[in-house]
Chain A
Amino acid sequence: MSAEPLLQLCSVSKSFNGLAAVNDVSFAMRRGEVVGLVGPNGSGKTTTINLISGITAVDSGRILLEGQSIERRRPFRRVQLGINRTFQVPKPFRDMTVAENIEVALEFSERDGADAECILTDLGLAAQRNKLARSLTVCQQKMLDLGRALATSPQLLLIDEIGAGLNPSELRDIADLLIRLSRRGTALVVVEHLLNFVNRITDHVIVLNAGVTLFEGTLQAASADSDVIAAFLGG
């Protein structure tokens, strides 16, 4: 395994109508590393994920995957290079079955290593395989969103607010699943409001506020940092 970081963001910025959503953000991740991306509403967490996955184009700065610059690559190319994500509001192919949803990603990601059966079992969707995605519960749709991402065997998985609206036992299951993924070598960026949930998965957080990196370090240190407290509580 190379010492080179898996992912590097170098001074990445993005504005919408003159408002800086992400402003000069830089960080690096190793293989299998888990980073919690936290911050108040509108702090640029989801935009950061959109920039990494290519859903939104950067205004300036560079994004490197294994040292290769990818910030101008189209989203599907980034998927084929091993970046994938889930969405805050799950976006499965609603009129396809659960199995077909996974199959599409297996077919087109051009990446080996994923197995539809394992994914369905891991996500607890094996019994739903022939159901249409639209008929699933929100939690199951979130799992399916994750399943589509896993079917592309990502090196880097971006998880956008997967915990929102889930009950404690569902949260625990997802946290366990994400820990298992990182042990298998998948790097994770976890955007989350629920700090307990983040705490369960990782110790390493990046705190954003108004598009700027406020803090990077352990969650414990973050909760003692005066800037972070001010940002969250309004100082």
Chain B
Amino acid sequence: MRKALRPADAITLGMLAAVFFLTPHLYSNQSLLFTMMTFITLAQGFNLLYGFTGYLPFGYVGFFGAGAYGTSLLVLNAHLPAIAAVIGGGAAAVVAALILSPLLRLSGAYFAIANLAASQILYLIVANPALSSVTGGPYGLNIQKTFAPQSSYDAMLLVMLFTCAIAIFFCNSRFGLALRAMTQDYVSAQMAGINIVKLRLVVWLISAAVAGLAGGIYAWNISVFYPEAVFGLQISVFAIVFALFGGVGTVIGPILGAIALYTLYSVIGISLPQYFELIYGSLIVLLALFLPEGVLSLMTWRRIDVR
């Protein structure tokens, strides 16, 4: 039968923890590492939904923003300590996901577009100058009083590992078996006794919660931000491309994708910023043409099980 944690999964989690725990001692740019962890978390969180249910949340960033704002507003108005506020930010994203859950009735491109629109609505509401007294409007928020780069780094590390652990659970558990069945044939899944409405709602909420926690910790880490910084569509696009590059429906695909492409992004962004979009765009085209299932599919072709 299924094992909760295979040795390969334990190694993945262990290495991920070791790398991001040790690297700050060798490499001084902790903020770059922090952002990389943010994107690993987002790519993995995106993968939880897209890789395991087939719903493509183009507006995934909406939950990230909801988390960032939820956290910051709790710090500013309820004067909660940062950790509690971050958890509140995750809850804010879950509430947003609950409100948006009727979107799950759509499928394919319709879902992706509706979700994109929803995230932009959230963005426009938050950034609305008329709400400046509540959300800071276009001027963003400032929670410098909680500024704690090391604690927020550690928190992001935990959330990243937690998210990857959920992906492992999705791969190996009875729950994951139901997800696979649902993705392959949702009518037959019901005929196997699976409550697909509940199942996809649970995954949707988990995926949103992860993005919300990441958004909250991100806000905590940078402590001063404009709406664009946490609702920018580029964040969604990065999470999606990173996950697809590595390979969705796997545990290590999104991790490798985010590490490889975020590193590339940073290198190009520093050395050849004028060519960034050209290089990135070409990469995405090549990926879609030749490796639509991500770089991990190179291993699947050699019959190595990467799930």
Contacts and interface: CB of A to CB of B under 8 A. Distances in A.
A96 B180 contact: yes
A79 B177 contact: no
Contacts, number: 76
A104 B185 contact: no
Contact of A91 (B178, B180, B187, B193): B187
B260 interface: no
Nearest to A75: B190
Contacts of B180: 93, 95-96
Interface stretch (B45-53, B64-72, B194-202): B194-202
B267 interface: no
Summarize B's interface: helix, strand, loop or mixed: helix
Interface in B28-66: none
A94 interface: yes
A147 to B, nearest CB: 11
Contact of B177 (A80, A104, A110): A104
Contact of B188 (A54, A93, A111): A93
Given A103-B177, A104-B177, A104-B178, A96 B193 contact: no
B190 A94 contact: no
A9 to B, nearest CB: 20
- Max chain B C-beta neighbours (<10 A), residue from A74, A85, A94, A108: A108
A108 B192 CA distance: 6
Given A93-B181, A96-B181, A100-B177, A110 B187 contact: no
Contacts of A96: 180-181, 184
A105 interface: yes
Contacts of A76: 190-191, 193-196
A42 to B, nearest CB: 21
Nearest to A149: B191
A211 to B, nearest CB: 23
Nearest to B1: A103
Contacts of B178: 104, 107-108
Nearest to A134: B184
Given A103-B177, A108-B178, A94 B185 contact: yes
A152 B193 contact: yes
Interface string B140-176: 0000000000000000000000000000000000100
Given A76-B190, A100-B177, A108-B178, A95 B184 contact: yes
A85 B188 contact: no
Given A93-B181, A108-B178, A79 B187 contact: no
Interface residues of A, number: 31
A80 B191 contact: no
A221 interface: no
Contacts of B188: 87, 91-93, 145, 148
A93 B187 contact: no
A17 to B, nearest CB: 20
Most chain A CB neighbours (cut-off 10 Å) among B181, B185, B192 = B192
A55 B187 contact: yes
A213 interface: no
Interface in A132-170: 145, 148-149, 151-152
Contacts of A74: 190, 195, 197
A182 interface: no
A74 B187 CA distance: 12
Interface in A71-98: 74-76, 79-80, 84-85, 87, 91-96
Contacts of A91: 185, 187-188, 191
B193 A108 contact: yes
A79 B184 contact: no
Given A96-B180, A100-B177, A80 B193 contact: yes
A92 B184 CA distance: 8
Given A75-B190, A104-B192, 18 more contacts: A54-B190, A74-B190, A74-B197, A75-B187, A76-B190, A76-B195, A79-B193, A92-B188, A93-B180, A93-B181, A93-B185, A93-B189, A94-B184, A104-B177, A104-B181, A108-B178, A145-B188, A149-B191
7 contacts: A53-B191, A55-B187, A91-B188, A91-B191, A104-B194, A107-B177, A152-B192
